[in-house]
A and B are shown apart, each in its own frame.
Chain A
Amino acid sequence: MDKFTTLTGVAAPMPLINVDTDMIIPKQFLKTIKRSGLGINLFDEMRYDDDGNEIPDFVLNKPQYRDAEILVAGDNFGCGSSREHAPWAIKDFGIRCVIAPSFADIFYNNCFKNGILPIALPQKAVDVLMKDAEKGANARMTVDLEAQTVTTSDGESFAFEIDSFKKHCLIEGLDDIGLTMEKASAIDAFESKAAMERPWV
């Protein structure tokens, strides 16, 4: 998995609440058996018209946000389906960090498996970051995972919380499965015990 340490980049503002995974990547793009190549269809139904032309008003189609690496959004980002195609599409587009007041559980977890940092901050902080993002390409935000801070282009800084294990895995780019397999003896022991206690499982 790609490591995440610090990131300084353009942030795209998306002041919508309840951005669901159907919006992030509509179902017609779930038919792939690969993880790559979904960035072009990120936010497809908001980004393109019926003929496949870009809708100029959509934030990621605006020249100043085409290379955005951070997304600032409203409450309950990533709600709905468990599709990991959502973080795959976000990552493939080039976004490595999403900031919102809250995230849906499964989406939040899925981000970490793909080297994306989701940051939950109080609404007031997100409002400040949203304003900063609205300034366009010259306003570059800095996310420092080690220090757990987000800093606006004006130098205003917000501290964020993150699970220490998730932080560690992201900074080191660790593979969860490899880590868990190191605990195989604990799983073996659990399995033997469970086979005695609940043999019907």
Chain B
Amino acid sequence: MSPKTLYDKIWDAHVAHEAEDGTCLLYIDRHLVHEVTSPQAFEGLRMTGRTVRAPDKTIAVPDHNVPTTLDRAKGIENPESKIQVEALDKNAADFGIHYYPVSDVRQGIVHIVGPEQGWTLPGMTVVCGDSHTATHGAFGALAHGIGTSEVEHVLATQTLIQRKGKNMKVEITGKLRPGVTAKDITLSVIGKTGTAGGTGYVIEYCGEAIRDLSMEGRMTVCNMAIEGGARAGLIAPDEKTFEYCKGRPHAPKGAQWEAAMAWWKTLYSDDDAHWDKVVTIKGEDIAPVVTWGTSPEDVLPITATVPDPSDFTGGKVDAAKRSLDYMGLTPGTPLSEIEIDTVFIGSCTNGRIEDLRAAAAILKGKKIKDGLRAMVVPGSGLVRAQAEEEGLADIFKEAGFEWRLAGCSMCLAMNPDQLSPGERCAATSNRNFEGRQGRGGRTHLLSPAMAAAAAITGHLTDVREMM
């Protein structure tokens, strides 16, 4: 047999039909659904009299619009958000799919709930009407973000029309230095390859530094594969993966577990597999990083200064000018002198228990800078409960952070958690686009530990100085 990459193996195991021109129907094992990109798809099913083909493989949870304030049981104020969440309540009931409503302690961001409940398993195909579906690649699952028409297509047929992408290997060799996290890896990769560098590829992340990451860290890395333009990110499953999955509510048990393990252990890229593109980064070369602009590729070590547009070439010159203007920054300013108004810890990139632990470790016994607004939004109700049990919630609250309920929150500001024009935020989320966190809001992406450090000093800060 010819050598295969992990992507090749998962792909081959899921082709339900291949047309002469190479267009395939890829069978989908798990379809995750949230309230923003699904109403039109369910409406389409109703209009054509179609049903959900595999309701037992379809899982829905509201996350983007839900309020994260402690009084949310009183309902959603914004009438449009309310309609969207109610539409999902109704669609889940009408079509008989698995559902975690707002009132359920297991509710949270769809990409955190899937793995937590054992829906996401190695070797699966996973889709969701959301670009950060790439997160699930951390399990060695082929996970794509799709549009609403494709959501409807998957609901109706449990397949996706796809052509195979190309294989790209991103290897992070050796060890990371202290203070460097999964977020720094994933941002640094984008800094190197650009936001379009992965277009048309499925990335497999490998190397010692990736192996050393926990499952939470691996999810952070794969989560942002899409920010590098890739169709999906993958990490081969190993003992850590199996350990994480074992005993989860929807993971296989008994003999089925053994059968699953037997297959999962074959899920790795063969030594002599062909790669269309290879990127190698030394783990020791990665520093704690922050973004300075309005694209995730606008990233630099915290020890650097704001770049000058003339440092760039081509279309990037104008883009950098526009970014700096929007961000209100002057070339040459040390990044560590940029003062912030707000800190947001959360999102599907960094809203898991390990992220909260990392931030709490820096915050323990300290207070946030006077006048700063700071919030922690756990990625799910269960992450929140665990953080309370571990005493992390108390550390955050004593430091001056707001301790919220689970949801997407200020990652995209569809709910009331938004920046005002000009407000500058250190955020653990994944996008620093213009207006992403609120019209005119300015976002600096960084790791949870770096966010905690910035909360204490009131400006972007090298977390290594606090360790």
- A-side residues, CB < 8 A to B, are 15-18, 20, 22-23, 26-28, 30-35, 45, 50, 74-76, 79-84, 87, 102-106, 109-110, 113-114, 163-165, 176-177, 180-181, 183-184, 186-187, 189-191, 194, 198-201
Asked if residues A31 and B414 are in contact (CB atoms below 8 Å), the reply is: yes
The answer for the CA separation of A153 and B234 in the assembled complex, in Å, is 46
B156 to chain A: which residues have CB within 8 Å?
Answer: 177, 180-181
The answer for the CA separation of A191 and B39 in the assembled complex, in Å, is 27
A-B contact pairs, 20 of them (CB 8 A): A16-B315, A18-B319, A20-B431, A22-B434, A26-B435, A30-B36, A31-B414, A32-B80, A45-B434, A79-B229, A81-B412, A82-B129, A165-B19, A180-B153, A186-B25, A187-B159, A190-B16, A194-B27, A198-B13, A200-B121
8 Å CB contacts to A: which residues of B1-33? Answer: 13, 16-17, 19, 21, 23, 25, 27, 29
B50, closest chain A residue (CB): A177
The answer for the CA separation of A50 and B440 in the assembled complex, in Å, is 10
Q: Mark B139-150, 1 if CB is under 8 A from A, else 0.
A: 000000111111
A176 to chain B: which residues have CB within 8 Å?
Answer: 149, 153, 161
B273 an interface residue at 8 Å Cβ cutoff?
no
- B-side residues, CB < 8 A to A, are 13, 16-17, 19, 21, 23, 25, 27, 29, 36-37, 39-40, 43, 48, 50, 53, 57, 64-65, 78, 80-81, 83-84, 87, 121, 123-124, 129-131, 145-150, 152-153, 156-159, 161, 163, 195-196, 199-200, 229, 231, 251-252, 256-257, 259-260, 263, 295, 314-316, 318-319, 322, 412-414, 421, 431, 433-436, 439
Asked if residues B149 and A84 are in contact (CB atoms below 8 Å), the reply is: yes
B195 to chain A: which residues have CB within 8 Å?
Answer: 18, 76, 79
Contacts A33-B40, A163-B163 given: A82-B414 contact, CB under 8 Å? no
B40, closest chain A residue (CB): A35
Contacts A177-B156, A181-B156, A183-B25 given: A33-B435 contact, CB under 8 Å? no
B128, closest chain A residue (CB): A82
The answer for the CA separation of A181 and B154 in the assembled complex, in Å, is 11
Contact check: which of B64, B81, B147, B229 meets A84 at CB < 8 Å? B147
Tell me, rounded to whole Å, the shortest Cβ–Cβ distance linking A41 to chain B. 12
Tell me, rounded to whole Å, the shortest Cβ–Cβ distance linking A123 to chain B. 8
B434 to chain A: which residues have CB within 8 Å?
Answer: 22-23, 45
Asked if residues A181 and B435 are in contact (CB atoms below 8 Å), the reply is: no
B86, closest chain A residue (CB): A33
Asked if residues B19 and A201 are in contact (CB atoms below 8 Å), the reply is: no
Asked if residues B257 and A200 are in contact (CB atoms below 8 Å), the reply is: yes
Tell me, rounded to whole Å, the shortest Cβ–Cβ distance linking B233 to chain A. 13
How many CB-defined contacts (below 8 Å) exist between A and B?
184
Contact check: which of B40, B65, B200 meets A105 at CB < 8 Å? B200
Asked if residues A22 and B431 are in contact (CB atoms below 8 Å), the reply is: yes
Contacts A30-B36, A105-B229, A181-B157 given: A50-B421 contact, CB under 8 Å? yes
A113, closest chain B residue (CB): B149
A103 to chain B: which residues have CB within 8 Å?
Answer: 199
Contacts A22-B431, A199-B256 given: A75-B439 contact, CB under 8 Å? no
The answer for the CA separation of A91 and B398 in the assembled complex, in Å, is 50
The answer for the CA separation of A97 and B259 in the assembled complex, in Å, is 49
B146, closest chain A residue (CB): A82
Tell me, rounded to whole Å, the shortest Cβ–Cβ distance linking A18 to chain B. 5
Asked if residues A180 and B157 are in contact (CB atoms below 8 Å), the reply is: yes
Asked if residues B196 and A106 are in contact (CB atoms below 8 Å), the reply is: no
Asked if residues B23 and A201 are in contact (CB atoms below 8 Å), the reply is: no
Asked if residues B78 and A33 are in contact (CB atoms below 8 Å), the reply is: no
B297, closest chain A residue (CB): A18
B319, closest chain A residue (CB): A17
B199 to chain A: which residues have CB within 8 Å?
Answer: 76, 102-105
Asked if residues B319 and A16 are in contact (CB atoms below 8 Å), the reply is: yes
A82 to chain B: which residues have CB within 8 Å?
Answer: 37, 129-131, 145-147
B145 to chain A: which residues have CB within 8 Å?
Answer: 82, 106
The answer for the CA separation of A73 and B195 in the assembled complex, in Å, is 16
The answer for the CA separation of A16 and B315 in the assembled complex, in Å, is 7
A186 to chain B: which residues have CB within 8 Å?
Answer: 16-17, 25
Most buried by B among A22, A184, A194: A22
B29 to chain A: which residues have CB within 8 Å?
Answer: 201
